[in-house]
Chains A and B, each alone.
Chain A
Amino acid sequence: MKKFLKKTFILAFIPLFVLLLAAIIWDPFKVFWNYEDYYANTVIDSNRELVCKKMFLSKSDHKNVNAFIIGSSRSQAFKVKDWMGVMAANGQANLNGFHFDGNDLGLYRMNHLIRYLIDQTNKIEHILLVLDHSSFKEVGPREELLFKEAPGISEGTGFDFYYTTLTSSLNKYFLMDNIEYGLTGKYKESMARSLLKLKYPATSDVQTGDIFYGLEREIKEDSMKYYNTLMQRGVFYKREVGKVSKPMLEKEQLRLLNEIKTMITEHQIDLRIVISPLYDNIKFNPQDKKTLEILFGSGKVFDYSANEQFTSSIGNYYENSHFRPEVARQILKLVYTK
Chain B
Amino acid sequence: MLFNSLEFFIFFPIVFVLYWMVFKSSRQAQNILILLASYVFYGWWNIHFLWLLIGSTVLDYLYGFGVNSQNRNKAKLFLWLCVINNLGILFVFKYYNFFIDQIVHTSELMGFALKPSYLSLILPIGISFYTFHGMSYIFDVYNKKQEPIKKFTDYAVFVCYFPLLVAGPIERASHLLPQIQANRTFNYKQAVDGCKLILWGLFKKVVIADNLAMVADSVFNHHQDHYAYALILGAIAFSFQIYCDFSGYSDIAIGTSKLLGIELLTNFRFPYFSRDIAEFWRRWHISLSTWFRDYIYIPLGGSKRSPLISVRNVFIIFLISGFWHGASWNFIIWGFLHACGFLPLLLLNKNRKNASDTVAQGKVWPSFKELFQMMSTFCFVSIAWIFFRAKSIDVAIQYIVNMFKGVFKNPGQFLTHPSQLSIFVYILPLLVIDWYLRHNERELRTPASWVRYPVYIGLFVVVLLNLGKKASFIYFQF
C-alpha spacing A168/B466, complex, angstroms: 10
Bound-state Cα–Cα, A172 to B195, Å = 23
Please tell me if the beta carbons of A170 and B465 are within 8 angstroms of each other in the complex: yes
CB of B461 within 8 A of CB of A19, answer yes
Select the residue from B186, B191, B464, B467 with max chain A CB neighbours within 10 A.
B464
Once the chains bind, are A19 and B188 in contact (CB under 8 Å)?
Answer: no
Give which listed residue, A4, A7, A8, A172, contacts B465 with CB less than 8 A.
A172
Option from B6, B186, B188, B457 in Cβ contact (under 8 Å) with A15:
B457
- In the bound complex, residues from chain A placing their C-beta under 8 Å from that of B465 are 170-172, 175
B interface bracket (residues with beta carbon within 8 Å of A):
10 to 19
B468 touches A171 (CB 8 A): yes
Q: Across the two chains, which residue of chain B brings its CB closest to A12?
A: B460
Establish whether residues A1 and B6, one from each chain, have CB atoms under 8 Å apart when the complex forms: no
Chain A residue numbers with a CB within 8 Å of B457 are 11, 15
Beta-carbon contact of B468 and A168 below 8 Å: yes
Nearest first, the 4 A-B pairs at minimum CB distance are A172-B465, A171-B468, A167-B468, A15-B457
CB contacts (< 8 Å) of A171 on chain B: these are 465, 468
Chain B residue with the shortest CB-CB distance to A19: B464
Cα distance, A11 to B461, chains bound together (Å): 10
Q: Which of A1, A4, A167 contacts B467 (CB 8 A)?
A: A167
Contacts of B461 in A (CB 8 A): 15, 19
Give the residue name and chain of the B residue nearest to A10 (CB): B453
- Judge if A294 is at the interface, Cβ distance under 8 Å: no
Which A-chain residue is minimally distant from B461 (CB atoms)?
A15
Question: Which residues B423-472 have CB closer than 8 A to chain A?
Answer: 453, 456-457, 460-461, 464-468
B20, B191, B456, B468 — most chain A CB neighbours (10 Å) = B468
Name the prevailing secondary structure of the B interface residues: helix
Smallest beta-carbon distance B446→chain A, Å = 13
Q: Is the CB of A4 within 8 A of B468?
A: no
A172 to B462, CA, bound (A): 8
Q: How large is the interface on A (under 10, 10 to 19, 20 to 34, 35 or more residues)?
A: 10 to 19
Q: Which chain A residue shows the least CB distance to B467? A: A167
- 8 A Cβ contacts from B315-337 to A: none
**Nearest CB in chain B to that of A14: its residue:** B457
Residues of B within 8 A of A7 (CB): 192
Q: Could you list 26 examples of A-B contacts with CB < 8 Å?
A: A1-B20, A1-B186, A3-B188, A4-B186, A4-B188, A4-B191, A11-B453, A11-B456, A11-B457, A11-B460, A12-B460, A15-B457, A15-B461, A15-B464, A16-B460, A16-B464, A19-B461, A19-B464, A167-B467, A167-B468, A168-B468, A170-B468, A171-B465, A171-B468, A172-B465, A175-B465
Residues in B with CB closer than 8 Å to A4 are 186, 188, 191-192
Alpha-carbon gap, A15 to B191, bound state (A) = 20
Specify which chain B residues have a CB less than 8 angstroms from the CB of A12 in the assembled complex.
460
**Cross-interface CB contact of A172 among B186, B191, B460, B466, cutoff 8 Å:** B466
| Cα A171 to Cα B20 with chains together (Å) | 34
Residues of B within 8 A of A167 (CB): 467-468
A163 at the interface (CB under 8 A from B): yes
What secondary structure prevails in chain A residues at the interface with B?
Answer: helix
With CB as the reference atom, state the residue of chain B lying closest to A175: B465
Q: Determine the distance from Cα of A314 to Cα of B191 in the docked complex, in whole angstroms.
A: 66
**Cβ-closest chain A residue relative to B186:** A1
Chain A residues whose CB sits within 8 angstroms of the CB of B21 once the complex forms = 1
CB distance from B49 to the nearest CB of A (A): 23
- Cα A205 to Cα B468 in complex, Å, equals 33
A12 to B199, CA, bound (A): 10
Map CB proximity to B onto A1-43 as digits: 1 under 8 Å, 0 otherwise. Answer: 1011001100110011001000000000000000000000000
**Nearest chain B CB to A156 CB, angstrom units:** 15
Other A-B contacts than A1-B186, A3-B188, 15 sampled, CB-CB below 8 A, are A1-B21, A4-B191, A7-B192, A8-B195, A11-B453, A11-B460, A15-B457, A15-B461, A16-B460, A16-B464, A19-B461, A163-B6, A170-B468, A172-B465, A175-B465
User: In residues 167-198 of chain A, which contact B (Cβ within 8 Å)?
Assistant: 167-168, 170-172, 175
Complex interface: chain A residues within 8 A of B467 (CB): 167
For A11, the chain B residues whose CB sits under 8 A away are: 453, 456-457, 460
**Please, how many angstroms separate the alpha-carbon atoms of A213 and B188 in the complex?**
59
Which chain B residue has the least Cβ–Cβ distance from A11?
Answer: B456
The complex places the Cα of A168 from the Cα of B464 at a distance, in Å, of 11
B464 touches A170 (CB 8 A): yes
* Complex interface residues of chain A between 75 and 118 (CB less than 8 A to chain B): none
Of A3, A8, A163, A168, which is in contact with the most chain B CB atoms at under 10 Å from its CB?
A8
A3 partner residues in chain B, CB cutoff 8 A: 188
Q: Cα distance A1–B461 when bound, in Å?
A: 24
Residues of chain B contacted by A8 (CB below 8 angstroms): 195
- A residues near B460, Cβ cutoff 8 Å: 11-12, 15-16
| Bound complex: CA A11 to CA B460 (Å) | 8
CA distance A163 to B457 in the complex (A): 21
CB under 8 Å from chain B, chain A span 119-176: 163, 167-168, 170-172, 175
CB of B140 to closest CB in A, whole Å: 35
CB distance from B30 to the nearest CB of A (A): 15
Q: A19: shortest Cβ distance to chain B, in Å? A: 6
Interface string of B185-202 (1 = CB under 8 A from A): 010100110010000000
Residues of B within 8 A of A15 (CB): 457, 460-461, 464
**Distance (Å) between the CB of A168 and the closest chain B CB?**
7
Within 8 A of A (CB), among B8-52: 20-21
Please measure, in the bound complex, the distance between the C-alpha atom of A7 and the C-alpha atom of B452, giving whole angstroms. 13
A297 to chain B, nearest CB (A): 43
The residue in chain A whose Cβ has the minimal distance to the Cβ of B24 is: A1
Per-residue CB proximity of B286-328 to A under 8 Å, as 1/0? 0000000000000000000000000000000000000000000
Most buried by A among B188, B192, B465: B465
Q: How far is the CA of A113 from the CA of B263 in the complex (A)?
A: 53
Contacts of B466 in A (CB 8 A): 172
Q: Which residue of chain A lies nearest to B453 when distances are taken between CB atoms in the complex? A: A11
| Residues from 97 to 144 in B contacting A, C-beta threshold 8 Å | none
State how many angstroms separate the Cβ of B198 from the closest Cβ of chain A.
Answer: 10
